[in-house]
């Protein structure tokens, strides 16, 4: 496939006339004008030499493509036969209205967890929890890049027991276990290094970014690429060095990343803007999303950019004493969609997604920390846990529980009233379709004897979302029951999260009640209507919590009605 002089200039981000001048010096007579076509070998040779020449210039600015008016740009468009690509643009700072991205609820969750974590940091159980979290991060970051695949069962084993090739069978992964473990250990070394970096005084700079890349790719010899003829190739990977050749995402649209000649200056600007964000106390989730996305826009390395980007985002969270940015294989579709939205100028989906990952980690920490205590601590640990529990009950029971319980009571009352309205609307709609067709609402406050009902459904919901539903801290529920050919129930359960009394949640689920052949009633599979429960902390403003909950409740009721409709076959 011929390569045009103009295409070389675009890829390197330089003016065509300077490519032609270098071609003349090299004796390539066929490169006379921007539309001149060269054979593949000659074109690649010229591109390499122009790139080397640009790097040797003390100030390459005069040779680079400069922004121009629309008329001038139109004149410089390639001939019609040239493939169109999205133009590369320098990275942009945060949007002027970045304050609108702030998630106050997440901050309250972090605050509630921080107060509990302070009591646990001296315990072995807390360190065990963090070790397992880092192991999962080390595994999943490579799976996201499709460096290897590992079954869910083998993943759990590695998280619990550590990285040993003997724990992996050939059926557990798509590559030799020894190679997979070597790559995972590189990624483990990278995240452990992030913790060390945060504990020191060194500032984030481009040299550390290159060190991160070298660590992450220590056992990666090659990377997948497409040559100019569209063939799949595997060039050798240069570790810890900026790319020397252009790279692209390879999706529809042929998106081009930062040309090699601009990488150094763009990375310097990335670090400089990040320092400004820290000085302005931009919230960690917004900082992390911006830094991650802008880094991927630059794509400074030949390969491994996604892994480095997640390291940089994790570094932001660790500096704020938050959890590592854990993105798993099941999150990949939402993750990529949020990045594409950021490409289009909307950073909010990525900020919200990162915030949801942190919220999930907090929820698991509230729950799993206690499980770790029960499973790993000996006599002294049990006594320490009991002592801490008594102290927590004395110091926090009244101050924390009163406010969050009052808020939960308000949300429960709001739910009961709204379900009453919905039941009336549904009954009006379906009563003419069948003699016994109707809908009704019911509920129980925390003071009612029936507050402890629906244990099976609530336990199944919490287990599916990987957290502990603490019904000792709080329990109340509201339910919409719809009787048609089947009995469908939409249940809202209010309860605590983990062993703390400072964090409560509302779970939304739907299911059908059926009868066995012998006439015994039973509950079919419980279907969660959300990926995570609605959470609220003791320190949040009750008015703001109610505002958030009202919108959430309407969406969940609609989800529940859609579940019912689907069961009717509509």
d(CA 18, CA 51): 11
What per-residue confidence (pLDDT) applies to 80? 31
Task: Tell me: do 267 and 364 sit in the same domain.
Answer: yes
Q: Domain limits at 7?
A: 3-75
What per-residue confidence (pLDDT) applies to 451? 95
Task: Tell me: do 144 and 176 sit in the same domain.
Answer: yes
Task: Tell me: do 284 and 350 sit in the same domain.
Answer: yes
Could you read off the pLDDT tens digit of each residue along the chain, which spans 570 residues? 567 777 787 777 778 788 888 888 887 877 777 767 777 777 777 888 888 887 787 777 777 765 433 333 333 333 332 223 346 789 999 999 999 999 988 988 888 888 777 766 666 767 788 899 999 999 999 999 999 999 999 999 999 999 999 999 999 999 999 999 999 999 999 999 999 999 888 899 999 999 999 999 999 998 887 765 667 788 889 999 999 888 765 443 445 789 999 999 999 999 999 999 999 999 999 999 999 999 999 999 999 999 999 999 999 999 999 999 999 999 999 999 999 999 989 999 999 999 999 999 888 777 754 444 444 444 555 666 666 666 666 665 566 667 889 999 999 999 999 999 999 999 999 988 888 899 999 999 999 999 999 999 999 999 999 899 999 989 999 999 999 988 999 999 999 998 766 789 999 999 999 887 777 778 889 999 999 999 998 878 899 999 999 999 999 999 999 999 998 876
Domain membership flag for residue 383: no
What per-residue confidence (pLDDT) applies to 548? 94
CB 408 within 8 A of CB 546: no
Cα angle vertex 221, ends 219, 222, to 5°?
A: 135
Two structure tokens written together for 526: 């419980």
Domain membership flag for residue 141: yes
Task: Tell me: do 367 and 458 sit in the same domain.
Answer: no
d(CA 137, CA 139): 5
Domain count, the chain: 3
Domain membership flag for residue 419: yes
Task: Tell me: do 116 and 183 sit in the same domain.
Answer: yes
Domain membership flag for residue 82: no
Classify 482 as helix, strand or coil: strand
Q: DSSP alpha helices (H): ranges in 121-151?
A: 124-144
Task: Tell me: do 320 and 288 sit in the same domain.
Answer: yes
What per-residue confidence (pLDDT) applies to 228? 59
HSE (CB half, 13 Å, CA atoms) of 230? 3
Distances (CA, A) of 11 to 69, 150, 237, 435: 21, 37, 20, 72
What per-residue confidence (pLDDT) applies to 49? 84
Task: Tell me: do 174 and 235 sit in the same domain.
Answer: yes
Task: Tell me: do 212 and 308 sit in the same domain.
Answer: yes
Domain membership flag for residue 92: no
Question: 252-268 as b/e, with b when 16 or more CB fall inside 10 Å?
Answer: eeebbbbbbbbbeebbe
For residue 197, the domain's CATH number is 1.10.3290.10
Task: Tell me: do 297 and 169 sit in the same domain.
Answer: yes
Classify 518 as helix, strand or coil: coil
d(CA 160, CA 335): 26
d(CA 237, CA 418): 59
Q: Following DSSP, what letter does each residue of 199-221 receive, concatenated? A: HSSPPP-HHHHHHHHHHHTTT--
């Amino acid at each position: 496939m011929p390569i045009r002089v103009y295409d070389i200039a675009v890829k390197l981000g330089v003016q065509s006339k300077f490519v032609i001048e270098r071609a003349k010096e090299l004796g390539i007579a066929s490169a006379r004008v921007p539309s001149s076509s060269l054979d593949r070998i000659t074109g690649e040779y010229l591109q390499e030499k122009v790139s080397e020449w640009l790097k040797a210039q003390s100030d390459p600015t005069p040779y680079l493509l400069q922004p121009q008016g629309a008329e001038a740009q139109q004149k410089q468009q390639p001939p019609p036969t040239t493939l169109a690509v999205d133009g590369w643009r320098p990275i942009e700072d945060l949007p002027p209205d970045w304050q609108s991205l702030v998630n106050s609820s997440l901050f309250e969750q972090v605050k509630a967890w921080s107060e509990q974590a302070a009591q646990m940091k001296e315990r072995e159980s807390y360190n065990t929890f963090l070790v397992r979290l880092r192991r999962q991060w080390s595994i999943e970051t490579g799976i996201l890049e499709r460096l290897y695949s590992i079954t869910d069962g083998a993943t759990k084993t590695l998280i619990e027991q550590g990285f040993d090739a003997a724990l992996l069978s050939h059926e557990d992964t798509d590559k030799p276990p020894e190679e997979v473990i070597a790559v995972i250990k590189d990624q483990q070394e990278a995240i452990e290094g992030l913790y060390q970096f945060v504990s020191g005084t060194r500032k984030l700079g481009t040299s550390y970014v290159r060190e991160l890349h070298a660590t992450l790719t220590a056992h990666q010899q090659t990377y997948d690429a497409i040559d100019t003829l569209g063939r799949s190739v595997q060039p050798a990977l240069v570790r810890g060095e900026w790319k020397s050749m252009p790279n692209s995402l390879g999706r529809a649209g042929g998106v081009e990343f930062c040309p090699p000649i601009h990488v150094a200056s763009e990375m310097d600007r990335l670090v400089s803007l990040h320092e400004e964000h820290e000085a302005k106390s931009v919230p960690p989730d917004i900082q992390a999303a911006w830094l991650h996305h802008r880094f991927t826009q630059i794509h400074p390395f030949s390969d491994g950019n996604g892994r480095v980007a997640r390291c940089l985002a994790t570094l932001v969270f660790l500096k704020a004493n938050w959890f590592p940015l854990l993105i798993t294989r099941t999150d990949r579709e939402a993750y990529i969609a949020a990045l594409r939205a950021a490409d289009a100028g909307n950073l909010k989906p990525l900020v919200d997604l990162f915030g949801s990952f942190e919220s999930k980690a907090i929820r698991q920490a509230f729950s799993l920390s206690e499980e770790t205590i029960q499973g790993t601590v000996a006599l002294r640990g049990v006594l320490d846990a009991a002592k801490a529990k008594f102290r927590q009950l004395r110091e926090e029971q009244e101050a924390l529980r009163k406010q969050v319980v009052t808020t939960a009571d308000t949300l429960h009352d709001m739910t009961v009233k709204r379900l009453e309205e919905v039941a009336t609307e549904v009954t009006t709609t379906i009563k003419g379709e069948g003699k016994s067709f109707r809908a009704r609402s019911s509920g129980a406050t925390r003071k009612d004897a029936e507050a402890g009902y629906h244990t099976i459904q609530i336990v199944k919901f919490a287990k599916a979302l990987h957290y502990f539903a603490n019904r000792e801290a709080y329990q109340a529920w509201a339910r919409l029951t719809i009787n048609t050919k089947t009995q469908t129930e939409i249940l809202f359960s209010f309860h605590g999260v983990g062993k703390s009394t400072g964090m409560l949640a509302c779970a939304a689920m739907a299911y059908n009640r059926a009868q066995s052949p012998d006439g015994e009633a039973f509950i079919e599979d419980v279907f969660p209507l959300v990926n995570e429960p609605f959470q609220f902390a003791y320190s949040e403003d009750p008015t703001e919590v109610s505002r958030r909950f009202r919108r959430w409740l309407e969406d969940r009721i609609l989800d529940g009605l859609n579940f019912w409709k689907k069961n009717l076959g509509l």
